[in-house]
Amino acid sequence: MEYRKFEGTPNQITEIMPLVHQSYKEVALKHHELEEKIHTLEYCHDLSDAITEKCRRLDYQANRWVSVYRDNRAYSHVRLDSWIIDANWQYFLHEDYRNPGLPRVLFITEERLSYFLSAYNVDPYFLPAWLFSQPI
């Protein structure tokens, strides 16, 4: 199968973002939970699987990537070429920085990731959650 290359164009992002938000709704419904509560590690695999599946339906080569969090729990996000889609990124923010005004979904290139996270005071300790993850 030939995959479409994801380059992060406005049209591509506009195509995918509603599907990411739809995934929040589906996972919340599946777990009988409010959408606002789905940002925790408990739901990251379900969200990543749902997003990966939706991106693949659009013929993108999406993969779920997993890393191990400091308490030995697995953490996952989605990769589209060099782009990261992380529906649970706010989990890594200090509670004082979490707020509904921040983007719910982190949609960024790997090269911009560390700049973005430092702007939101994410402890650099958490960078390996994205940079040293492995595809599954």
Q: How do residues 57-69 score in pLDDT, each as one tens digit?
A: 999 999 998 887 6
User: Whose structure tokens read 């995918």?
Assistant: 16
Q: Which helix (H) or strand (E) holds 130?
A: helix 128-131
The predicted pLDDT at position 89 comes to 83
Phi and psi torsions of 53, nearest 5°: -60, -45
Domain ranges in the chain?
10-135
Q: What is the pLDDT of residue 23?
A: 93
The mean pLDDT values, 10 residues at a time, for the chain of 136 residues are 89 92 93 84 89 95 84 83 86 76 83 82 72 69
| pLDDT of the residue at 57 | 94
The model's pTM: 0.85
Q: How far apart (Å, rounded) are the C-alpha atoms in residues 108 and 119?
A: 14
